[in-house]
A = this chain, B = another copy of it.
Amino acid sequence: MTIVNRTQSLEKIHTSAPKLESAIDRSVPESGPAEVDEETNYFATNPEPPYLAEIQQQVNEFIAFHSGKRRIALVTSGGTTVPLENNTVRFIDNFSAGTRGATSTEYFIENGYAVIFLHRQFSLLPYSRHYSHNTNCFLDYLDENESGTVVISKEYQEEMKVVLNKYQKAKDDNLMLFVPFTTVNQYLFTLRLISLELKPVHSTCLFFLAAAVSDFFLPTSKVAEHKIQSQGGGGKLVVDLDPVPKFLKRLVEEWAPNAMIVSFKLETDEKLLLFKARQALTRYSHQLVIGNLLQTRKREVVFVTTDDAVDYTISEEEEARGVEIESVIIPKVIDAHSTWISQHKQ
């Protein structure tokens, strides 16, 4: 594991980056009424998922169960979709298998947290992730033994038992609440709901926003009712999307002002990563942005705070041995969370 403090190199990028916003005085509200309206308008003009009341009840019970006993983390995971049609055949998706969120959840639980896992349906789940989305299918792990019982094959027994025991303990202790989403609209409504429900425990809870949320959406008013028909000939499809309002700002300022909030910035262009991470931090004034490149995200991340940029890496050799970078960074996030909690105690 290597930790590199990049404050200096960040400063260099910081000053040379194009169109960088100047530091913002937090005592002065940044946004005028127009921006507030954008988010409010979103929730007023897009449909609320019909199952939201059911989730509200589950979340409430989960919070009540853990309140005062342990910290709660809301971990978001996987990509959101933007349906292009009401009876959805086509949609825009964000690449994300959900590895970061599912893996991090295991390490949060190992370190004493309870986790609300807000995830894209069918993306990777904590624990079972070890056995899905790979070239083996479920049935490749199975055999029939001599007495005709279907069992896990010998070669997978040992490892699977460890994972199964951890999974069952987490379930028995009620340490995970799985809340699914598919569309960016479902994600936004559910995120708002859970954030507000968490209010009683904000001072000790952590928002760990690893989901790949679309920057764009198609307003309900523009969504085609039926499958978009290709023009029989040379017809082109032009999809004209609106930007998703900046909900992270609302989260930081109104939904959960006392909670520690960690967001992610995924880029593919190394030259942009630090600049974009710093920009997010400046724009939303939350506590931590974890930056990563699509190409190296399993071995390298950078923690960007107001004052600092710290790299965490594992080597290729460590990765090959099964070391997960989340085993390095989640304890660091938890340290920062402890500091945050102690600084915000009344």
Contact = CB atoms under 8 A, between A and B. Distances in A.
A161 B125 CA distance: 25
B122 A131 contact: no
A197 interface: no
Interface in A233-288: 233-243, 266-269, 272, 279
Contact of A294 (B89, B148, B160): B89
Interface string A74-115: 000000010011011111111100000000000000000000
B167 A139 contact: yes
Indicate the member of A90, A144, A272 with the most B CB atoms within 10 Å: A90
A268 B238 contact: no
Interface in A179-233: 212, 214-216, 226-227, 229-233
A231 B215 CA distance: 10
A230 B215 contact: yes
Interface string A118-156: 000010010110011100011100101000111110000
Contacts of A88: 95, 294
Contacts of A81: 93
Nearest to A230: B215
Contact of A157 (B149, B167, B242): B149
A295 interface: yes
Given A95-B89, A152-B150, A240 B236 contact: yes
A335 to B, nearest CB: 30
Interface string A17-47: 0010000000000000000000000000000
Contact of A93 (B19, B93, B231): B93
Contacts of A240: 236-238
A164 interface: yes
Given A89-B266, A151-B149, A238 B238 contact: yes
Nearest to A91: B93
A163 interface: yes
Contacts of A227: 266-269, 294
Contacts of A93: 81, 90-93
B142 A152 contact: yes
Interface string A165-181: 10110000000000000
Contact of A138 (B92, B138, B230, B234): B138
A174 to B, nearest CB: 15
B157 A144 contact: no
Given A89-B268, A216-B237, 15 more contacts: A19-B232, A89-B212, A90-B94, A128-B137, A131-B139, A132-B137, A139-B167, A226-B269, A227-B266, A227-B267, A231-B243, A232-B279, A238-B238, A238-B240, A239-B239
25 contacts: A81-B93, A87-B294, A90-B92, A90-B94, A93-B93, A122-B133, A125-B137, A127-B137, A127-B139, A131-B139, A132-B137, A139-B168, A149-B151, A150-B157, A151-B152, A216-B230, A216-B236, A216-B237, A226-B268, A227-B267, A227-B294, A230-B243, A232-B279, A237-B239, A239-B241
